[in-house]
Amino acid sequence: MIFSQQIEKKFDYEKEYYPIKNSIQTDSLKFWTYSIDYEFEKPNDSIKPVAKIKFWRTESINDKKSQKIYGKPWTPSIDFEIYNINDLEFCKESSYLTKVRSSCVKPNVGGDLIIIQNYVLVNKSVCLNCIRYDNGIDYCRPTLDKILSELNLAENSSLSGIDKAIGTKIERTE
């Protein structure tokens, strides 16, 4: 499914994750930031990511269940390892393995895979920190969909070009 200029998402959160009763809502982008790390410690795999990107909400959300369980306010976040498009088959396998190894139930299961031009973003978290416990609303995927679907990218953008385009939508944190 194409949702922006040469961007493809391999998760269809509207069909795959949410019952009809839960409305899909996009959080305000003013509450979101991201960081991209080109120098992080790479995994001990033969195929290595070129960077890691993390998106998170800058202000916590008053979620009574999270507050009770963890004793602190809840802040949704999601991160991805970024690979070259040549590693797509490896990324698909990694996404699949993340999903089957997860002990979480949908929509808390990770393994999201997003293609942006010549790059593949893979979420390797078996359980996500995106769903508000007290109402079941996902704060990450719809917000990330909004950010990425509105990117204005030149053809064959570099990773730094994609980074800059995301920075026009939400503030980047170093």
Using pLDDT thresholds of 50, 70 and 90, give the confidence band for residue 40.
confident
CB contact at 8 A, 57 and 27: yes
Which pLDDT band holds residue 24 (cuts at 50, 70, 90)? Answer: low
For the record, the structure tokens of 71 come out as 């004793």
Residue 3, token pair as written in the block: 């949702």
pLDDT of 9: 53
pLDDT of amino acid 162: 94
Q: Confidence band (pLDDT; 50, 70, 90) for 20? A: very low
**Residue of 4, 2, 6, 3 whose CA lies nearest to 155:** 6
Q: 158: pLDDT confidence band, cut at 50, 70 and 90?
A: very high
CB-CB contact of 169 with 37 (8 Å): no
Contact 28, 147 (CB under 8 A): no
Helix (H) or strand (E) holding 2: strand 2-4
Question: pTM for this one?
Answer: 0.83
